[in-house]
Chain A
Amino acid sequence: AIQMTQSPSSLSASVGDRVTITCRASQPIRDEFGWYQQRPGEAPQLLMSLASDSQREVPSRFRGSGSDTEFTLTITSLQPEDFATYYCLQDYNYPRTFGQGTKVEIK
Chain B
Amino acid sequence: EVQLLESGGGFVQPGGSLRLSCAASGFNFRNYAMNWVRQAPGKGLEWAATISGSGAGPYYVDSVKGRFTVFRDNSKNTAYLQMTSLRVEDTAVYFCARGTRPYMGALDHWGQGIPVTVSS
Contact = CB atoms under 8 A, between A and B. Distances in A.
Contact of A98 (B47, B110, B111): B47
Interface of B is mostly: strand
Nearest to A100: B44
Interface residues of A, number: 24
A89 B106 contact: yes
Contact of A87 (B44, B62, B112): B44
A98 B45 CA distance: 7
Contacts, number: 60
B13 to A, nearest CB: 27
A87 B104 CA distance: 18
A85 B35 CA distance: 21
B107 interface: yes
Query: For this complex, into which size category does the number of interface residues on chain B fall?
Result: 20 to 34
24 contacts: A34-B107, A36-B45, A38-B45, A44-B95, A44-B97, A46-B107, A46-B109, A49-B105, A85-B44, A87-B45, A89-B45, A89-B106, A91-B104, A91-B105, A91-B106, A94-B50, A94-B57, A95-B60, A95-B62, A96-B47, A96-B59, A98-B44, A98-B46, A99-B44
